[in-house]
Amino acid sequence: MRFSTAVLTGSSIVLAAALPTNTFKRADSCGQWDTVETGSYTVYNNLWGQSSATSGSQCFGVDGLSGDTLSWHTSWSWEGGEGQVKSYPNVVVSLDSKPLSEITSMQSSWSWSYDGSNIVADVAYDMFTSSTAGGSNEYEIMIWLAALGGAGPISSTYGADGSATPIATVALAGTNWTLYKGPNGDMTVFSFLADSEVTNFSGDLKEFIDYLASNQGLPSSQHLLSAGAGTEPFSGSDAVFTVSAYSLTIE
């Protein structure tokens, strides 16, 4: 994830498995590392970059689970630290790590909306892989459904205006995407950016992995460690990100 000419770093996500349950709306949580587990999902507040803000706060809550479809929300306001991601409120599905070549499908649906003032943020899936099931993150695969207010992905090169330089364009899951590639610490980051905002996504995320393996050098022997979906706030006020329906099934 990137804004202007500042390269940004994220944090790894630790998975926590939970037994399937039915849940109802819960009171919001606001702690830096607060989590809520429900069904096969864990929702994280994940304020990993809050120290770069001059002021602000963020809370999140789970609204319900029906079958494998989750609804949740987050509200935030952040000032200062221009070009720096403050957090990644997101939902991660529990999974058994296995090589990408052994995954047959990653069917997902995601309906969301954003309200607020002067929002700079992205809305994205975020997946991490490693050469072993218990290894360190080596590749990060992001699928940006939206880039709001000037947010942009990591790239190896940038134009004179500070914009990231793409490496390819591709049509996947019924949408046209521009692909970027760049470093995030020791990781290689691939970022697919939708050509237009996608507020209702439905498709197989395995299409993106297969494309990278066939065309961009992603080793299919890499193990999928985690698969999250959420928003990365940079700055804004009175922001409310609402996920009315989300599901991800990995086979």
Using CA atoms, how far apart are residues 221 and 102, in angstroms rounded to an integer?
9
Using CA atoms, how far apart are residues 249 and 70, in angstroms rounded to an integer?
12
Query: In angstroms, what is the C-alpha Rg of the chain?
Result: 17
* Active-site residue flag, 232: yes
Three-state SS at 214: helix
Distances (CA, A) of 164 to 2, 181, 194, 225: 8, 9, 14, 27
Using CA atoms, how far apart are residues 22 and 210, in angstroms rounded to an integer?
34
* Active-site residue flag, 207: no
Cβ proximity of 59 and 29 under 8 Å: yes
Contacts of 193 (CB under 8 A, 6+ apart): 144, 147, 152, 153, 177, 178, 179, 180
Taking the alpha carbons at both ends of the chain, their separation in whole angstroms is: 28
Cβ proximity of 57 and 76 under 8 Å: yes
Residue whose C-alpha is closest to residue 128's, from 158, 95, 172, 157: 95
Q: Which of 82, 102, 232, 251 is catalytic?
A: 232
Using CA atoms, how far apart are residues 47 and 61, in angstroms rounded to an integer?
14
Q: Which of 79, 138, 140, 207 is catalytic?
A: 140
Using CA atoms, how far apart are residues 194 and 138, in angstroms rounded to an integer?
24
Catalytic residues: 140, 232
